[in-house]
A and B are shown apart, each in its own frame.
Chain A
Amino acid sequence: MIPAAFEYHRPKDMAGVLAVLTQYGDDARVMAGGHSLIPMMKLRMADVPHLIDLQSVEGLGGISVADGVVRLGAMVTQHDIIDSAELASAAPILRETSLQIADPQVRYMGTIGGNVANGDPGNDMPGLMQCLDATFHLVGPDGERTVAARDFYESAYMTAREDDEVLTAVSFAVPQGGYGYVKQKRKIGDYATAAAAVQLVKENGVCTAASIAMTNLSDTPVHSVAAGDALVGTSVDDAAIKAAVQAMLGDIDPAQDNRGPVEFKRHAASVILRRTIERAWSRA
């Protein structure tokens, strides 16, 4: 419950953030909503001698939809996502996913940037961002760069972000067609036993594009190219869904924990992916 002592920094701009990161190196860490980091600090599983609070940094907020691209500032909260009419219309899968993350209080504080940068395979947004082929925007001492969500996750808590970089925004093309994010969990606020993100396009009764990603079924989110490919060119009938599920099972690598043994997780993943595909197809 009691975190170790730290020095607190609340810079007003990104230059101020980077200055602290550069000065203190591994001893400094940025915090967005604090709802993954503070719990870890309270359990003394995270040691952060210099905490950089991003709440006052200019330019990290805001949701925009322009020229076919959705852009979310890193400090946009789950509550902001749920509340945004613009987003509900441009990318309704975001709202569907956010409503399955945590609980109301956590959603007022927890941010999209923190969710995707955390690197915990339990987080829901990383899989969704891989499904949407999102781009992550990073700023560091050498300037800005972008990394595809599909290339960002290396293993649990290990990502392509360097220690002296800050994730400032995520962006993705306005998704087309039907969508679904379905999550099996033990209770409100739990990370998924299995969850799937599906976005697919239907033209004249045939699936012409499909993207599928799975949550918490490996030490990273899993973008299953083969599962999506199994649907393309089909009418998403039972055989096609079975083929997609089979392909997905070849790409996941769940670990046993108190959510269940590996075989159960594979079963749950199969059921969840089938439901998600059916939901997305019915909306396409």
Chain B
Amino acid sequence: MSKKMHITLKVNGEEQEFLAEPRELLIHTLRERLGITGPHIGCETSHCGACTVTLNGKSVKSCTVFVAQADGADITTIEGLGSPDNLHVLQTAFKEHHGLQCGFCTPGMITRASKLLEENPNPTEEEVRFGMAGNICRCTGYQNIVKSILAAAAEMNAVKEAAE
């Protein structure tokens, strides 16, 4: 047991303050302390990406970040991207293009995809596959995930064009 630290985080726009041991992994903070259970845990070797969140503008695997490192950070999880009544374009696209089955990888997939499309709004299929390579899925075989992300990109670009 080490000394607890006073931690401040901004998660999905809400300020959070609490005491935690430095060794607490950010994924556990989100899920167990804050009740934000969209991000999942699929491995213990930092491969699967099911725990992916956006931390200070970067896609990170929250299983490989100590809460102590994240002190002061701004974090977005799947819950912050959209809600059942107000789906994010990517969430709608995953639904329409059957980009999920069991749904366990989906929060990490969509959170990563949101950052990918922010950095590259017009990705090729190959760029989508490479840009999503840190996220493993056991159900879909990826094809429909790629379709979902390309469809979301097209939709987001159409909306952007219409606004201009």
B133, A103: Cβ atoms under 8 Å?
yes
Closest to A79 in B: B58
B46, A8: Cβ atoms under 8 Å?
no
B22, A51: Cβ atoms under 8 Å?
yes
CB-defined contacts of B132 to chain A, threshold 8 Å: 104
CA distance A10 to B22 in the complex (A): 11
Within 8 A of B (CB), among A18-54: 34-35, 38-39, 41-43, 51, 53
Does any Cβ of B come within 8 Å of A189's Cβ? yes
0/1 interface trace, chain A 1-27, chain B, CB 8 Å (1 if under): 111111110100000000000000000
Known: A104-B59, A104-B112, A105-B112. A4 touches B23 (CB 8 A): yes
CB-defined contacts of B49 to chain A, threshold 8 Å: 103, 105
Known: A39-B64, A53-B69. A106 touches B46 (CB 8 A): yes
A8, B68: Cβ atoms under 8 Å?
yes
Does any Cβ of A come within 8 Å of B121's Cβ? no
Q: Contacting chain A: which of B1-9, B80-88, B92-100, B143-151?
A: B1-9
Counting contact residues on chain A (CB < 8 A from B), the size range is 20 to 34
Closest to A8 in B: B22
CB-defined contacts of A2 to chain B, threshold 8 Å: 23
Least CB distance, A207 to chain B, in whole angstroms: 32
Least CB distance, A281 to chain B, in whole angstroms: 26
CA distance A106 to B71 in the complex (A): 19
CA distance A270 to B138 in the complex (A): 34
B68, A104: Cβ atoms under 8 Å?
no
CA distance A104 to B116 in the complex (A): 9
Does any Cβ of A come within 8 Å of B44's Cβ? yes
Within 8 A of B (CB), among A60-104: 79, 102-104
Does any Cβ of A come within 8 Å of B134's Cβ? yes
Known: A3-B23, A105-B60, A108-B58. A34 touches B133 (CB 8 A): no
CA distance A48 to B70 in the complex (A): 19
Least CB distance, B135 to chain A, in whole angstroms: 8
0/1 interface trace, chain B 21-65, chain A, CB 8 Å (1 if under): 111010000000000000001001111010010000011110111
Least CB distance, A68 to chain B, in whole angstroms: 31
CB-defined contacts of A3 to chain B, threshold 8 Å: 23, 25, 66
A109, B60: Cβ atoms under 8 Å?
yes
Does any Cβ of A come within 8 Å of B123's Cβ? no
CB-defined contacts of A10 to chain B, threshold 8 Å: 68, 71
**6 residue pairs, one from A and one from B, having the closest CB atoms:** A103-B134, A8-B22, A108-B58, A8-B68, A188-B133, A1-B44
